[in-house]
């Protein structure tokens, strides 16, 4: 039996379902029952019938699944697969901002720890942040942790006063303008598709800016045939599957998220077999962080 066949068999035996983010290895995406961006996966996680969820992504994703589905067993193939940006804000600063600004909403990118979510009013992802921030009644927005996404949203919602936090994604922050321009020179007809976690100078030369599924959908629906992709290279699996006739290029320093890549087929099989690496969230943290995730689902529609 191949590893993939063993995993399929174990899924049935253990009443388990596999969720995978677009950044994980192609062979892991292949065994997944649901693949998507972080908003889609959080919606899926909230409504599954299986007893066990194996979350192939990074820790905040498994944690959010557990918060939204506390009765499920949530397993991570690798407990050290963590998003560094999820820790790049702190509760003290949030509480200081609340004292300093009246009429403040703390808007928390889903790439954050459950602890940070407990101090926030609403969660967002890159696919729904504009809609949610616009819908909030508050004038002042403290956006944590990502400064690049915050600046991008602030330009699209100029009626709000944004207070910025200094977090960033190391993988997207490394995106280099010169490298992108070199690709543009080599492929003059190619459109630049970027994730809003990229620095502003990359977004300024982009034809489309959106979440991972936004990028995949844009390229799939476009009449154009060539694209320069400024996000983590894992999206190539779905891009090529959907668009065998189109060409995709990455900057020379190919963007890789080392944490997403910790998810391997061997580890998926191991956690299915042993039940190891279960995600736990205390009742108190769950109760307080659930509100911000549920508000996101309510406002995003
Ligand atoms: P998406 O919500 O676009 O999938 O992004 C998640 C992420 O971690 C981007 O780095
Ligand atoms: Fe976090 Fe960046 Fe990896 Fe996304 S790509 S999970 S933001 S480190």
How do residues 130-139 score in pLDDT, each as one tens digit?
999 999 999 9
- Answer whether 233 contacts ligand 1 (Cβ < 6 A): no
Predicted confidence (pLDDT) per residue in 221-242, tens digit: 999 999 999 999 999 999 999 9
Nearest to 78 by CA among 297, 258, 292: 258
The pairing of strands 191-194 and 226-230 is: parallel
Pocket test for ligand 2, best of 23, 58, 146 (most atoms within 8 A of CB): 58
Pocket test for ligand 1, best of 123, 208, 212, 261 (most atoms within 8 A of CB): 212
Centre of ligand 1 from the C-alpha of residue 231, in Å:
9
Q: Where are the alpha helices (DSSP H) in the chain?
A: 3-13, 26-31, 38-45, 59-68, 91-100, 114-118, 129-135, 147-156, 170-173, 177-186, 200-203, 212-221, 236-242, 265-274, 283-300
- Answer whether 260 contacts ligand 2 (Cβ < 6 A): yes
- CA–CA dist 110, 211 (Å, integer): 13
Nearest to 39 by CA among 133, 125, 153: 125
* Per-residue burial over 37-71, b = 16 or more CB atoms within 10 Å of its CB, e = otherwise: bbbbbbebbeebeeebbbbbbbbbbbbbbbbbbee
**What pLDDT shows up at residue 283?**
96
Pocket test for ligand 1, best of 195, 196, 230 (most atoms within 8 A of CB): 195
The 3-state secondary structure of 31-58, one letter per residue: HCCEEECHHHHHHHHCCCCCCEEEEECC
**What pLDDT shows up at residue 301?**
85
**In the chain, what's the furthest Cα-to-Cα distance?**
62
- CA–CA dist 11, 31 (Å, integer): 10
Q: From the alpha carbon of 259, which atom of ligand 2 is closest?
A: 3
Q: Which residues, in sequence order, are bridge partners of residue 194? A: 209, 230
- Answer whether 257 contacts ligand 2 (Cβ < 6 A): yes
Q: Which residues, in sequence order, are bridge partners of residue 54? A: 18, 75
Give the residue whose CA is nearest to atom 6 of ligand 2.
83
Give how far Cα 224 sits from Cα of 11, 230, 240, Å.
Answer: 39, 17, 14
**What pLDDT shows up at residue 235?**
98
Q: Where are the alpha helices (DSSP H) in 233-280?
A: 236-242, 265-274
Q: From the alpha carbon of 146, which atom of ligand 2 is closest?
A: 7
**What pLDDT shows up at residue 64?**
97
- CA–CA dist 148, 232 (Å, integer): 16
**What pLDDT shows up at residue 269?**
98
Residues of the chain with pLDDT under 50: none
Query: C-alpha angle 209/301/21, rounded to 5°?
Result: 50
**What pLDDT shows up at residue 28?**
98
């Amino acid at each position: 039996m191949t590893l993939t066949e063993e995993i399929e068999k174990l899924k049935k035996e253990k009443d388990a379902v596999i969720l995978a983010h677009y950044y994980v290895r192609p062979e892991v995406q292949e065994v997944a029952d649901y693949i998507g961006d972080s908003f889609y996966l959080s919606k899926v996680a909230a409504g599954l019938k299986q007893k066990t969820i194996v979350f192939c992504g990074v820790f905040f994703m498994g944690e959010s699944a557990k918060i939204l589905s506390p009765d499920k067993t949530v397993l991570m193939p690798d407990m050290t697969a963590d998003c560094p940006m999820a820790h790049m804000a702190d509760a003290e600063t949030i509480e200081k901002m609340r004292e300093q600004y009246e009429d403040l909403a703390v808007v928390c990118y889903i790439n954050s720890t459950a602890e940070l979510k407990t101090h926030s009013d609403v969660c967002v992802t890159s696919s729904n942040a504009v809609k949610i921030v616009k819908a909030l009644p508050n004038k002042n927005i403290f956006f944590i942790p990502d400064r690049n996404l915050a600046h991008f949203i602030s330009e699209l919602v100029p009626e709000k006063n944004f207070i910025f936090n200094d977090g960033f994604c190391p993988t997207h922050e490394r995106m280099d303008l010169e490298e992108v321009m070199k690709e543009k020179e080599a492929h003059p007809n190619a459109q630049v598709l970027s994730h809003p976690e990229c620095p502003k100078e990359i977004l300024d030369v982009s034809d489309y800016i959106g979440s991972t599924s936004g990028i995949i959908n844009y390229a799939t629906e476009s009449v154009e045939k060539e694209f320069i992709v400024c996000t983590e290279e894992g999206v190539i699996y779905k891009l090529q599957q959907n668009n065998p006739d189109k060409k995709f290029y990455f900057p020379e320093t190919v963007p890789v998220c080392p944490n997403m890549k910790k998810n391997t087929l061997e580890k998926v099989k191991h956690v299915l077999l042993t039940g190891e690496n279960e995600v736990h969230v205390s009742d108190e943290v769950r109760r307080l962080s659930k509100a911000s995730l549920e508000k996101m689902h309510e406002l995003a529609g």
